[in-house]
Amino acid sequence: MTLPIRNVAIIAHVDHGKTTLVDALLKQSGIFREGEEVPDCVMDSNDIERERGITILSKNTAVQYKDTHINIVDTPGHADFGGEVERVLGMVDGCILIVDANEGPMPQTRFVLKKALEKGLRPIVVVNKIDRGQADPFVAIDKVLDLFIELGADDDQCEFPYLFASGMSGYAKDSLDDENVDMKPLFEAILHHVPPPVGDPTKPLQLQVTTLDYSEYVGRIVIGKIHNGTIYVGQQAALIKENGEIAKGKITKLMGFEGLKRIDLTEASAGNIIAVAGFADANIGETITNPDNPQALPLIKVDEPTLQMTFSVNDSPFAGQEGKLVTSRQVRDRLFRELETNVALRVEETDSPDKFLVSGRGELHLGILIENMRREGYEFQVSQPQVIYREVNGQPCEPYELLVLDVPEEAVGGCIERLGQRKGEMQDMLVGASNRTQLEFIIPARGLIGFRGEFMRITRGEGIMNHSFLDYRQICGDIVARRNGVLISFEEGVATYYALLNAEDRGVFFIAPGTKVYRGMIVGENTRPQDLELNICKTKQLTNHRASGGEELVQLQAPVEMSLERALEYIGSDELVEVTPKSIRLRKLSKKLVKR
């Protein structure tokens, strides 16, 4: 006898506590043995996810509660990874929308909720972090209701059930007056409000591929929900490709989910979320079905990319010194391999065999791909991100973003002024507690390129910035983003303390003494609008009247550290970011340099 099933996704704005809440559900479901060491954010298994504290890839887990098998899908909260959210919502029959009790709905809340409502799901709202100071759970619920109405939710969806919770402390409750105990109220809400999956086990098999994995032992593994029929090990099946072609194969391995582990199954029926091996060429959105009566499910549709950049083979003087995978063929193969699992990414070949046009959802989406590639040993260079224009109703249009800033009171004027220069239109301003103000803008996506560094300077690092794609609108005209010129290395060599000290009045540097540099490499930012070429390898001439250690030691200013994201936001249209496993360097695209 098969257990009753519930399939539910966890959706929320980034950093509102999805993964922590899933941690609490897993720990209290009894899947870990007593005394077993369980890390925090146990679902964030990727190295970059743990380092940055964000969820990038959607992941499956499952728990048992009161003889019901509950499949839980943890999804990313950042809009740049919206492709992950869109593809997994087709696997589930309900969702849990998590909202911060203090912040309320944020830009990505709007994005993920819109996708859930379009799928016809009725969310369970969990107001999280109620144990924190300044939390106002009922105001958060009112804002969520306003958002539901604004997004066109039907009457049933607007009558959403809600709970109060603290994922960190491991409890949920139906009323604020209830005693803090455990996550039982949330488990009960899932059983009561999430409908069981709709599917007929007697119909021909239909399983849609929503996630891909790989094992050295069985090859490609596809993960998806059985919409109809029954599947078992050794069964003959067919894969309906995206182009309509049918490839026959055999189910060599069948696995289900139990906590963080995959368990071997002999068979599974409609409604289950399972992992299957046996189809080496399967891609996301395709259907595994009965070979005698093949019936395809609708392909997964995701929003188109809004940002693109050029990936090219590294041709700097230091090319090939730090990376193992440096050729155009290796870079090309890696980019096209990414397309198999990253549904929101697009890769196009160009007229040059050494350059590839890569399109994604945003700077973070493309930045994570670049970071993964450099960790795998690839060496290449990328151009400044550019927005993708489209024609809508015969008019040229560009992507617009909804931008929400949380800033100290003294930084409000500066943010409004800078965003006005970038064609941003303020929609709302809310003065909150602790002298902080929340500003809401609608702004062209190209107006945000390079703004984050400026924003951090205006707010002295105390500001919080969130944005998500809104829609395509008519092009608003030229945007002149102000940035000073750059300091460029005059020759190849090693940067010296003496040369950097003498040039300190020229601007701020991105490098420290002892850094290897080459002609055309960007080493800092000028104090003036023009680019300036410097000899930063110059050494001090020593005579018998001058000893190398005979002068008072003068401290250099600390260099500005250029992370990958900061470098992508910083560079101009005539500049490149050189990416290697060990270094991030900025360089001029043109070999024609500005002479001193």
Q: Is 292 annotated as a binding residue?
A: no
Q: Is 128 annotated as a binding residue?
A: yes
Q: Is 15 annotated as a binding residue?
A: yes
- In whole angstroms, what is the distance from residue 144 CA to residue 146 CA? 5
Secondary structure (DSSP) of 345-382: -EEEE-SSTTEEEEEESSHHHHHHHHHHHHHTTB-EEE
Q: Is 544 annotated as a binding residue?
A: no
> Are the C-beta atoms of 344 and 83 separated by less than 8 Å?
yes
Q: Is 93 annotated as a binding residue?
A: no
Q: Helix (H, G, I), strand (E, B), or coil: what is residue 412?
A: helix
- In whole angstroms, what is the distance from residue 155 CA to residue 65 CA? 30
Burial of 374-388, coded b for 16+ CB within 10 Å and e otherwise, reads beeebbbbbbbbbbb
Q: Is 2 annotated as a binding residue?
A: no
According to DSSP, the residues that pair with 232 across neighbouring strands are: 267
> Are the C-beta atoms of 207 and 230 separated by less than 8 Å?
no
- In whole angstroms, what is the distance from residue 92 CA to residue 85 CA? 11
- In whole angstroms, what is the distance from residue 101 CA to residue 103 CA? 6
> Where does residue 270 rank: exposed (0-12), middle (13-18), buried (19+ CB within 10 A)?
buried
Taking alpha carbons only, the member of 64, 110, 112 closest to residue 89 is: 112
Return the H-helix or E-strand segment holding 355.
Answer: strand 355-360
Q: Is 16 annotated as a binding residue?
A: yes
- In whole angstroms, what is the distance from residue 457 CA to residue 486 CA? 18
Q: Is 211 annotated as a binding residue?
A: no
Longest Cα pair distance anywhere in the chain, in angstroms? 96
101, 138, 190, 191, 211 from 141: Cα distances, Å: 8, 5, 19, 22, 33
> Are the C-beta atoms of 586 and 574 separated by less than 8 Å?
no
Q: Is 130 annotated as a binding residue?
A: yes
Q: Is 129 annotated as a binding residue?
A: yes
Taking alpha carbons only, the member of 379, 382, 335 closest to residue 363 is: 382
- In whole angstroms, what is the distance from residue 580 CA to residue 532 CA? 26
Q: How many residues are there in the chain?
A: 596
What letter represents residue 575's amino acid?
Answer: E
According to DSSP, the residues that pair with 348 across neighbouring strands are: 357
Annotated binding site for GTP: 15-20, 128-131
Annotated binding site: 15-20, 128-131
